[in-house]
Amino acid sequence: MLGAIREKSSMKTSIKLALAAGAVAFTAGMSGSAFADIVVTSWGGGYTASQQKAYGASWEAKTGKKINWENYNGGLGEVRAMVEAGNATWDIVDVLPDQIRTGCDEGLFEEIPADMFITTGGVSFDDDMMVPRPNDCAIPQIFWSYMAFYQEGTYSGEQPDSIADFFDVEKFPGKRGIHTWANALIEMALYADGVAIADVYDVMDTEEGIERAFAKLDTIKDHVVFWSSGAKPLELVSSGEVSMSLAYNGRVGAAILSEGAAFVPIWDGQVLEEEWLAVIKGSKNKDEAIDFAIHASAPEQQAGQAKWINYGPMRKSGLAIIAANEPWYNTGVNIMEHMPNRDEVMPSSIFANPDWWADNGSEISERFTAWMAQ
Amino acid sequence: MATAAPEQILTADGTPLKASLQKSLMRSKMHAAGLVFPAFLFLVIMFIAPIGVLLTRSIDDKLVNQFLPNTFALFEQWDQKELPDEDMYEAMFLDITGADKTLLGRATIRMNYEVSGWRSLVKKSNREFKKIESGPYKEAMIKVHKRWGEIKYWQSLGAMVDNYTMGYYLNAFDLRFDGDKNVIEQPENRQVYNLLWWRTFVVSLLVTFFCVLLGYPVAYLLATLPMRISNLLMICVLMPFWTSLLVRIVAWMIMLQQEGVVNNVLVSIGIVSDENRLAMMYNFTGTIIVMTQILLPFMILPMYSVMKGISPNYMKAAQNLGAAPSLAFIRVYIPQSLPGVGAGVILVFIVAIGYYITPELVGGKDGRLIGNMVAYHMQNSLNWGLASAMGLILLTGILVLYWLYDKLTGSAGMKMG
C-alpha cells in the first residue's frame, strides 16, 4: 500500500520532470539562434556537413563561439525579405554566383574589403583567387560544376569521353538526364557543337548563338529525362533509366568516394560555377560574422573542406595544400582527381560567366521553359 | 445641486439603473469584441496586409524614376525613331554618375526585366564614366559600351517612365508595353506564361475530376459501413495524409518509373514487353497520378462529413415508393451529397492550382506550372512585381470560381464540416 503511494508520487515527479525537460527542449528548439553567436545558412546535406567539419568546427574551437547552421533552398527571396524588414535572422548565407551579384547590387550584403582576408606565402589575396571577386560582398568559398557521367559497363567498345558524346545519341544511344533550368546547358550545347571554349559567351551574346544552342538541345530532346533535385541523376543512371546524365560533380564524386559507385565522370565540357559566402546586411552579429567569413576563406580552411567533399577551393593556395598532402580525403584516398578545378581538366572546362547570366537569366529561363513545353 | 432626480431608479450600489445596464452591455460587447479580436487580427496580418503589399508591389514602378530623373525629364520630347540627341545622353550620363550605389543596383535589375543587358550596360558604364571628364557624351558613351548605340535600350525606357505600371500584369500574359505604351506581344520564343496558365488550369481540373471519381465511393463507404470497419477505413485515408509529402512522392517514383515496381510486374507477367515499358513518371501522367493521390483526402473528408449527415431513411423511403436502388441512389442520395462534393471540389482545385514542388519533381518537362514561375521570380530573378502580379491573378481566378460556385449552388450550398 505504502509502496504503491510512493510509486505514484515518484511517477508524478517524473512526469513533472519530463514536462519541464520538454519545455526546456522546446524553448531551446524555438530560439536555437538566440543561443548561437552567428547563424550560417547553407544548402544542407553533405555540403553543410563539410563546412561544419572543416571551418565551422575550427572557428568554434578558436573563438569559443557557437554557430547555428540553417538550411535553405537557394535564391534571395528570404534574404531580401529579411533586409527589407530590418530584421536579419541569418548572419551569413552561402550563395550561387548570380545571387552574389544581384544581392550586392540590391544592397542585401555587407561589404568586406579585400585587405581583410588572410594571405599566405607572400601572394596577395587577389592573385590567390582563381577568379576575381565580382564585388566587395563576395567571400570565397568553392567551385562546383555541372558535368556528365555514366555507369561503368553501359557501353561496350568505345566509351564516351566528351560532352560532344553526351549530345550524340546515335554514337551512344540511350536516354540523357538533364536539369530543368538553362544554366550550363547553353554553354555545353555550344561547346559540343564545336564552339571554342573561349568564344562560348561571345556566341551566347548573339541571337543566332542562342538559337544554335537550342538547336543543339533539340537533337537530344526526344531522349531527355529531366531532373530537378541533385540526388536524382545518380538514381536515374544507377537504375538504368538513363544511360548518361548531367549532375553536380560533388554528388557524383561522393557516390564514388563514399559508396564505391561505378560512375565514370566526363570532365570534358564541365561548367564550373562559383559558390560564395556573404554577410547579410544588418546582421546583428556583424563582427563575429565577418570574423567567421575571414576564417572560412583562409587557405588551410578551404583545403580542410576538401577532406569531406570534392568541391574545389577558390584559392590557389588552398588547392596547393591538398595537392601537397595527398591522400587528403577523410577515408584516406586521393581527392585531387575528383576536384573540378584541378589543372588537368581546366583546358576543357568552361568557367560559367555569372554576369552574362545576371543579364540574361530571366529571358533564357523563359525561353528554356518554352522549349521544354514544346 | 447634488441631489439625484427622484424618478431615477437606482441599483443596490447607488448608480442609476440605466447607466449600470449600459455599462454591463458595454462590458459584454467588449467581451465579445475581445474574443473576436485575435481572429480579426490574424485575418489582417495573415491575409489582408500581404494582399495589400502584393497589390502595391505588382504596380509600383518608382525605382527607375528615382534613378533617371534627368533622362525621364527629356524622354517625352524624344520621337523614339532614331537614337536620342546629345542632351539625353548627357542626362543619362549625369543620372548614372550621380546615382547612389544601391539605387543604381536595384534600378538596373528592374530595367533588365525590360531588355536583357541593361544591368551590365549600366554597371560597366558606372565604372568607365568616371574617366569621362566632359562632353560631348554621346560618342564617348557609345565607345564605353556599344549598347548605348542600340535604340532598343532607349526605347525600353518608355515602359518605365510612369510611377505606376500595369506592365507586370501584361508580362504575366506574354504581353508588354513598347516605348509608346502600346500593348504588344512578347517575342515568340519567350511566350510561356499563357501556356503555363492553361496547363495549370488543366492539371487542376483533371486532378479535381479524378479526386471526385476516386473519392466519392470511398466517402460513401466511410459514411455507410458499420463504425468498426469505417474507423479502420478512415485511418487508411488519413495515414497517407499524415505522411510526409516527399516520402509519398519518392514512393510514387519507385512505383512508377520505367525500371519501377509497376513496370517490372507488368513485364514479368508479360503484359508489357521489356522494350516498351510504360512511361508513367516524369511526365504529365505522373503529375496527375501523384497530385491526385496527395489531394484525395481533401476531397474525401468534406464529402464524408456531408454524407454522414444523410439519413439512410431517405433511401429506404425511395425504395419503398418503388425506385430501384440505383435510381434511388441517383435521384435521392447524390443530390443530398452534392454540398460535400462541392466543398471538396473547391478545396482540391484551390490547393492544386498553387502546387509546384510536386509537379517539378515528378512532371519532367511537363512539370512546370505557374507556381514554379512565381517561385522563380520570388527567389531567383527577384522580380517581385511579376511574382506579385501572378499571385494576384491566381487569387482573383480562385475568387471568381468561388463566386460562380456560390451563385450556382446558393449560399447554403457548401459545408466544410
Mean pLDDT, residues B259-272 taken together: 88
Tell me the C-alpha to C-alpha distance, in Å, between residue B15 and each of A102, B9, B26: 69, 9, 16
Please give the single-letter amino acid code of residue B54: L
Per the CB < 8 A criterion, the answer to whether B364 and B280 are in contact is no
**In the predicted model, what is the mean pLDDT of chain B?**
88
Q: Are residues B224 and B295 in the same domain?
A: yes
Torsion of Cα atoms, A131 then A134 then A137 then A142, to 10°? -30
Residue B50, CA atoms < 13 Å, CB-side half-sphere: 12
- CA-closest candidate to residue A94, choices A61, A138, A133, A136: A138
The H helix count followed by the E strand count for chain B is: 21, 2
| CA–CA gap between residue B324 and residue B320 (Å, rounded) | 9
Which residues in chain B are contacts of A99 at CB distance < 8 A? 380
Sign (positive or negative) of CA dihedral B156, B159, B161, B164: negative
Per the CB < 8 A criterion, the answer to whether B74 and B88 are in contact is yes
> What range defines the domain where residue B34 resides?
15-48
How many other C-beta atoms lie within 10 A of the C-beta of residue A230? Answer: 16
Q: Are residues B89 and B209 in the same domain?
A: no
Q: Which of B53, B54, B119, B263 to mutate to test the interface with A (most CBs of A within 10 A)?
A: B119
Q: Are residues B277 and B132 in the same domain?
A: no
Q: Which residue does chain A place closest to B106, by CA atoms? A: A106
Q: Are residues B314 and B365 in the same domain?
A: yes
Which residues in chain B are contacts of A202 at CB distance < 8 A? none
Q: What is the ipTM of this complex?
A: 0.78
Q: Which tens digits make up the pLDDT trace of A167-203?
A: 999 999 999 999 999 999 999 999 999 999 999 999 9
Tell me the C-alpha to C-alpha distance, in Å, between residue A111 and each of A20, A283, A335, B141: 44, 12, 33, 29
Tell me the C-alpha to C-alpha distance, in Å, between residue B231 and each of A184, A236, B212, B236, B341: 53, 40, 21, 9, 21
Who wins on pLDDT, A217 or B77?
A217
φ, ψ of residue A196 in degrees (nearest 5):
-70, 145
Mean pLDDT, residues B382-407 taken together: 89
Q: Are strands A176-179 and A224-227 parallel, antiparallel or unpaired?
A: parallel
Residue B75 in domain: yes
For residue B195, is pLDDT > 80? yes
| CA–CA gap between residue B374 and residue B394 (Å, rounded) | 10
pLDDT in tens, chain A (374 residues): 334 444 444 444 444 544 444 444 444 444 444 567 899 999 988 889 999 999 999 999 999 999 999 999 888 999 999 998 888 999 999 999 989 998 998 899 999 988 888 888 788 888 889 999 999 999 999 999 999 999 998 998 899 999 999 999 999 999 999 999 999 999 999 999 999 999 999 999 999 999 999 999 999 999 998 888 888 899 899 988 899 999 999 999 989 988 888 999 999 999 999 999 999 999 999 999 999 999 999 998 988 898 889 899 999 888 888 888 888 888 888 888 888 988 888 999 999 999 899 889 888 988 998 898 87
C-alpha cell at B326: 440505383
| CA–CA gap between residue B291 and residue B286 (Å, rounded) | 8
Mean pLDDT, residues B59-69 taken together: 91
Q: Which tens digits make up the pLDDT trace of A51-69?
A: 999 999 999 999 999 999 9
Torsion of Cα atoms, A152 then A158 then A160 then A162, to 10°? 140
Residues whose CB is less than 8 angstroms from the CB of residue A369 and which lie 6 or more positions away in sequence, other chains included? B192, B196, B368, B373
Q: Are residues B293 and B155 in the same domain?
A: no
User: B366 and A366: CB-CB below 8 Å?
Assistant: no
C-alpha cell at B166: 500595369
Residue B321 in domain: yes
| CA–CA gap between residue B141 and residue B71 (Å, rounded) | 15
Which residues in chain A are contacts of B364 at CB distance < 8 A? 225-226
φ, ψ of residue B177 in degrees (nearest 5):
-85, 140
3-state SS class at B175 = strand
Total domains, chain B? 3
Q: Which of B147, B379, B386 to mutate to test the interface with A (most CBs of A within 10 A)?
A: B379
Domain boundary among the residues B145, B161, B177 is at B161
> Chain A closest CA to B137's CA: distance in Å?
25
Q: Does A74 touch chain B (CB under 8 A)?
A: yes
What burial class does residue A254 get, using C-beta atoms within 10 Å of its C-beta: 0-12 exposed, 13-18 middle, 19+ buried?
buried
> Chain B closest CA to A151's CA: distance in Å?
16
Tell me the C-alpha to C-alpha distance, in Å, between residue A362 and each of A110, A252, B164: 25, 29, 22
Q: Are residues B332 and B395 in the same domain?
A: yes
Task: Report pLDDT for A245.
Answer: 96
- Range 91-120 of A in CB contact (< 8 A) with B: 98-99, 102, 104-107
Q: B180 falls in which pLDDT band (50, 70, 90)? A: confident
User: A105 and B376: CB-CB below 8 Å?
Assistant: no
C-alpha cell at A279: 554577410
User: A107 and B106: CB-CB below 8 Å?
Assistant: yes
Mean pLDDT, residues B313-330 taken together: 90
Which residues in chain B are contacts of A240 at CB distance < 8 A? 259
- Total CB pairs under 8 A between chain A and B: 105
Q: What residue spans in chain A does CATH classification 3.40.190.10 cover?
A: 32-142+275-343, 144-273+348-373
The CA-to-CA distance between both ends of chain A, in Å, stands at: 80
Please give the single-letter amino acid code of residue B96: I
User: B379 and A104: CB-CB below 8 Å?
Assistant: no
- CA-closest candidate to residue A176, choices A123, A132, A216: A216
Residues whose CB is less than 8 angstroms from the CB of residue B351 and which lie 6 or more positions away in sequence, other chains included? B295, B298
Q: Are residues B364 and B396 in the same domain?
A: yes
Residue B8 in domain: no
Per the CB < 8 A criterion, the answer to whether A273 and A352 are in contact is yes
User: B112 and A359: CB-CB below 8 Å?
Assistant: yes
For residue B14, is pLDDT > 90? no
Residue B174 in domain: no
Per the CB < 8 A criterion, the answer to whether B102 and A106 are in contact is yes
The fold of A32-142+275-343 is D-Maltodextrin-Binding Protein; domain 2 (3.40.190)
- CA-closest candidate to residue A304, choices A44, A59, A133: A59
Task: Report pLDDT for B7.
Answer: 66
| CA–CA gap between residue A104 and residue A117 (Å, rounded) | 18
3-state secondary structure B200-265: HHHHHHHHHHHHHHHHHHHHHHHHHCCHHHHHHHHHHHHHHHHCCHHHHHHHHHHHHCCCCHHHHH
Q: Are residues B153 and B202 in the same domain?
A: no
User: B379 and A74: CB-CB below 8 Å?
Assistant: yes
Task: Report pLDDT for A121.
Answer: 78
Mean pLDDT, residues B73-84 taken together: 87
What CATH code is carried by the domain that includes residue B203?
1.10.3720.10
Per the CB < 8 A criterion, the answer to whether B287 and B203 are in contact is yes
User: B382 and A73: CB-CB below 8 Å?
Assistant: no
Sign (positive or negative) of CA dihedral A263, A264, A267, A269: negative
Q: Does A223 touch chain B (CB under 8 A)?
A: no
Q: Which tens digits make up the pLDDT trace of A98-141?
A: 899 989 988 999 999 888 888 887 888 888 899 999 999 999 99
Per the CB < 8 A criterion, the answer to whether A244 and A150 are in contact is yes
Considering only the beta carbons, identify the residue of B105, B199, B364 that sits closest to A106. B105
Q: Which of B56, B100, B103, B116 to mutate to test the interface with A (most CBs of A within 10 A)?
A: B116
Considering only the beta carbons, identify the residue of A241, A355, A373 that sits closest to B258. A241
Q: Are residues B409 and B378 in the same domain?
A: yes
Which residues in chain B are contacts of A356 at CB distance < 8 A? 120
User: A105 and B109: CB-CB below 8 Å?
Assistant: yes
| CA–CA gap between residue B179 and residue B160 (Å, rounded) | 9
Q: Are residues B348 and B390 in the same domain?
A: yes
Residue B39 in domain: yes
Q: What DSSP state is assigned to residue B187?
A: P
Task: Report pLDDT for B6.
Answer: 56
Is CATH 3.40.50.300 correct for A144-273+348-373? Answer: no
Per-position DSSP letters for B312-369, written without gaps between them: HHHHHHHHHTT--HHHHIIIIIHHHHHHHHHHHHHHHHHHHHT--HHHHHH-GGG---
User: A105 and B360: CB-CB below 8 Å?
Assistant: no
> Chain B closest CA to A236's CA: distance in Å?
9
Residue B1 in domain: no
Q: Are residues B44 and B68 in the same domain?
A: no
> Chain A closest CA to B273's CA: distance in Å?
16
Measure the CA angle with vertex B270, ends B267 and B274; round to 5°. 40
Q: Are residues B155 and B198 in the same domain?
A: no
Q: Which tens digits make up the pLDDT trace of B333-379?
A: 999 998 899 889 999 999 999 888 888 888 887 888 999 889 889 88
User: B195 and A370: CB-CB below 8 Å?
Assistant: yes
Please give the single-letter amino acid code of residue B136: P
